Structure 1
């Protein structure tokens, strides 16, 4: 019988191992940045082309490598950072597994130039798919330059699973930001398609945060610091009013290593209890310094998960430290949980006085009428609703709905049966500046003005995007300048054509800012800076939460941010138009994300309430 089990070739084994270490271009950036940091660099430069698919280049001025070390670095499990099993529990470097370079070389065309600080000449090594093509001496500055070209060139199936360039670029920028935050004493630069996106000088942490996320975050930073016998916590948290609906600006570093921990994130949320509405996330950049013997970082090849020896202790100290920082800055629970945190609060006074009811004009609403259901006489004034309250249904002029009448409507579609008008004159009023109430043949209709307007705008925005059309734009008398962080700037530039189709007239203004000279007509009156920033945040949240096309995501995001908010008083003409437009929609019943736009209470249900 022939033997079936055999050893795989090194090149194939490396490709398999690369599946865990190199998942996408950002994985390569992460591993190369960690190597540059471990090399003692004071300046690191990152260059990418085509979202890292064509080129990823990392240049550092660290100690460099000798000719032998340069060659050994591409062997699997070859590392300078640990030697014994005991070293695994005293890790003080970013890398230690000895897998990164071998994995990258297995799925890319890689070139490395390096020169040790004690050597006069350096070494250049060229590798394709784990196969060394050349190793020659070269004159190069101290440090290391690694260029990974044509990622997954020999694994086309993996390359086909990569996302669009904007998505992959965002992941790369995320890794760059994490490395830059972890090492504020190192100068970082980032170039995308030959354009400088970041130029970060060596500085202190607060300045690094502002350089990465923009001047707007300067006023929201709250220092957080706590030191005990077992660990030290330091960093910054954001003020509650600046919390966002999207994740992405939450950073934990343990011994300078970025980690992901839902458990510690819960500790932060617990510290903010009473200060934040649900489903929003505070900003924080927090560093935990703890003895390496108290943690285990050898949990996953990506090294973003760690285990603490006493996780509950870390949780308690972290919560206490954040609560202390909030108390020092007099942050107390004072947020109105009913308001939409993404917009400025509105007044909550009740609307519509009695005099406004007398100004309501008579009008037939074809959206509320079915040709199969005959029209009935209408309610001419509010007094009719109350004049027979002291009589039984049989004595009053208004007929009670019988069970046979109710059953006769159930055979017709719900949109027809429930939305048939009761009269030629239908009274529609706004309740508490949040809802619109009107009468139907079968009961009453209550519309959520915020949800209804979101559905209307979504369908208005989606059509031109799908049909390659451009909506008319309202030209601004004074252009609006909007600074953005580099990551958001990349996102806007990637979708500028679709934004133009929606009605935005945008142009780059300097390195990381936009000038807006036109906007959709529905956005007139909005704070355009707030609207565009909210659109970007909503787009990123949708991108992380749902599987949507770019066009649908943009339409959803803009509709969410531009629609009427609770607390907005509407004139009667606006109420009429809102109802008309809602029931002209293709799907009027729900918002794009599945919330109800209106509810119907039938006469049968109303009668049941009072008969109980």
Structure 2
């Protein structure tokens, strides 16, 4: 007797549901995508008890005939594709014909639909399908109840209500961002939680979903080639997150995961955010369907794009250029005003401030300017830049705070704080970039330099990586089994620690599995710029401060250090008056 047999349709659908329907948010995604494919421009989602009891999706799309409404619950029944050619030119969100049969195999379903005349009501309860004529407006209403009633293990796997609701909100948010031309509304336990206008304005949609603060800190981004178009918004540093979930990429109206694109966005923000922070980005891509393969993952979440490398390089170049076209000077953190309710029985004593007549210099206020003889330091070396690249407003240094921050008047009634170490990092970083871009930027080490590695490290230092090291001025020649002789190092500045630089860069090359020229170049220069810069707790004279400000204003990106920390924070006249309650006086 044969051991192999064909599974019955009910069991096959339940297996498919295990891949497609993981939780209530998966149901919402599939049903909303069906509504979008039906050309709906108004979609409402209702959730009861985190989706365990009921999920309802209403749309004003094209609707279905009675025959199509019944056939839609058959496995692999779809109106989206009809041939192999269509599979590689997909223009819809769904195409496999798995969603409705998968959902109906693990829940009870009611589908009410109409094309504008006679409506149809299809019910599936305990995997038994019935249909009847019903009155309905044009569009479709799908109601899901008792989700996972026949798969107790899956039901037990669901998280707490607030967690499942959060997943549903996240799914709903990404669908709305991918389709700003559609009006969406989400109700959870009969309360309206999210709503968009459907006017086609992506920034308005972001404001509806994330609030005014996010919308005010966005920079528009657009790029177009013959193969693809990109429209969206880049978040400023104020919107940085602790995880990468706010990097939202939509492709042809579908929220997708593209690892190389996400990595490119993070790399492009390298100069603007700290290493542990991630940007808020919403980008909508329109790509010729023939260049994209959506049939990779069961949920169609991950896709492949034939020109992904080209796209990655474009993003790494264009995102910094776009961000630098706007004002990126950091602002002080704003907190809610403290309101104290005075009690009748409380009594107050007059506050008296006592000042000593004779104050020693070391006890003087934190903001100070001293004669250079008091605290001798080595001369501050500033590398001059191109005089034509001045972006900052007029800044006049007036002192130093904690021997770390330069205090400046901004010429408009406010003041700025400049982190002297971060500023010099930025100045040196761009100076070293200029050095490495010149054809003759290397020389032999001042003293013979030999680098010893472990056997494992030698294996990881491949020929390709040795060639990449040449681009940052380091030429290594094998010298024994696990040793290399350094023949060339870059000419950065007089007296820098050549061995420390070489070892740092080699360590970067060894520990990165997928190392490219851009990343190695950036990391090498960042490491050198940090070590060559003045430190905190170092005294600067007024003339030194002026040199720092002058050189900083000539850099391409005076707003952040190479590691993404802010260089300058500005307190405007308006913000100061607001803090002291002087607005309007």
Q: TM-score, normalised by structure 1?
A: 0.54
Would you say the 8 A contact 2:233–2:282 is kept in 1?
A: yes
Structure 2 residue 155 is the aligned partner of structure 1 residue 159: yes
Structure 2 residue 177 is the aligned partner of structure 1 residue 214: no
Would you say the 8 A contact 1:11–1:129 is kept in 2?
A: no
Partner of 2:38: 39
Q: Secondary structure of 1:210's match?
A: helix
Q: Secondary structure of 2:97's match?
A: coil
Partner of 2:189: 193
CA distance in 2, matches of 1:129, 1:102: 13
Quote the offset at 1:129 in angstroms: 4.2
Structure 2 residue 198 is the aligned partner of structure 1 residue 202: yes
Q: Deviations 1:3-32 (Å, cap 9, x if unpaired)? A: 322222211111111000001110000000
CA distance in 1, matches of 2:190, 2:170: 19
1:321 to 315, 318, 323: 318
Quote the offset at 1:330 in angstroms: 4.9
Aligned residues: 345
Would you say the 8 A contact 2:66–2:120 is kept in 1?
A: yes
Would you say the 8 A contact 1:225–1:321 is kept in 2?
A: no
CA distance in 2, matches of 1:246, 1:311: 23
Quote the offset at 1:342 in angstroms: 12
Q: Secondary structure of 1:57's match?
A: strand
Partner of 1:98: 97
Partner of 2:27: 28
Quote the offset at 1:319 in angstroms: 2.2
Q: Secondary structure of 1:18's match?
A: helix
CA distance in 1, matches of 2:334, 2:79: 49
> Could you say if the C-alpha distance between residues 103 and 90 of structure 1 is closer, same or farther in structure 2, counting changes exceeding 3 Å?
same
Q: Secondary structure of 2:17's match?
A: helix
CA distance in 2, matches of 1:86, 1:130: 34
Would you say the 8 A contact 2:47–2:55 is kept in 1?
A: yes
CA distance in 2, matches of 1:322, 1:247: 17
Would you say the 8 A contact 2:258–2:304 is kept in 1?
A: no
Matches within 5 A, 1:322-361: 322-331=319-328
Quote the offset at 1:343 in angstroms: 10
Q: Secondary structure of 1:235's match?
A: strand
Quote the offset at 1:321 in angstroms: 2.7
CA distance in 2, matches of 1:79, 1:432: 69
Would you say the 8 A contact 1:296–1:306 is kept in 2?
A: yes
Quote the offset at 1:320 in angstroms: 2.5
Matches within 5 A, 1:160-559: 160-203=156-199, 204-331=201-328
CA distance in 2, matches of 1:23, 1:131: 22
Matches within 5 A, 1:51-62: 51-62=50-61
Would you say the 8 A contact 2:195–2:209 is kept in 1?
A: no
Quote the offset at 1:269 in angstroms: 1.4
Q: Deviations 1:546-604 (Å, cap 9, x if unpaired)? A: xxxxxxxxxxxxxxxxxxxxx9xxxxxxxxxxxxxxxxxxxxxxxxxxxxxxxxxxxxx
Partner of 1:488: none
CA distance in 1, matches of 2:217, 2:170: 21
Quote the offset at 1:335 in angstroms: 7.7
Would you say the 8 A contact 1:276–1:335 is kept in 2?
A: no
Q: Deviations 1:490-529 (Å, cap 9, x if unpaired)? A: xxxxxxxxxxxxxxxxxxxxxxxxxxxxxxxxxxxxxxxx
Q: TM-score, normalised by structure 2?
A: 0.56
CA distance in 1, matches of 2:106, 2:334: 43
What RMSD in Å do the two structures reach over aligned CA positions?
Answer: 2.7
Q: Secondary structure of 1:328's match?
A: coil
Partner of 2:14: 15
> Could you say if the C-alpha distance between residues 131 and 342 of structure 1 is closer, same or farther in structure 2, counting changes exceeding 3 Å?
farther
Q: Any unmatched runs of 5+ in structure 2?
A: 337-360, 364-401, 405-536, 538-585
Deviates more, 1:238-247 or 1:222-231: 238-247
CA distance in 1, matches of 2:218, 2:126: 46
Q: Secondary structure of 2:244's match?
A: coil
CA distance in 2, matches of 1:308, 1:291: 10
Partner of 1:412: none
Quote the offset at 1:242 in angstroms: 2.3
Q: Secondary structure of 1:248's match?
A: helix
CA distance in 2, matches of 1:342, 1:264: 33
> Could you say if the C-alpha distance between residues 126 and 68 of structure 1 is closer, same or farther in structure 2, counting changes exceeding 3 Å?
same
CA distance in 1, matches of 2:98, 2:169: 23
Partner of 2:2: 3
Would you say the 8 A contact 1:244–1:342 is kept in 2?
A: no
CA distance in 2, matches of 1:318, 1:214: 26
Find runs of 4+ consecutive structure 1 residues off by over 6 angstroms. Answer: 341-344
CA distance in 1, matches of 2:284, 2:185: 23
CA distance in 2, matches of 1:165, 1:303: 26
CA distance in 1, matches of 2:180, 2:325: 26
Would you say the 8 A contact 1:29–1:56 is kept in 2?
A: yes
CA distance in 1, matches of 2:403, 2:11: 67
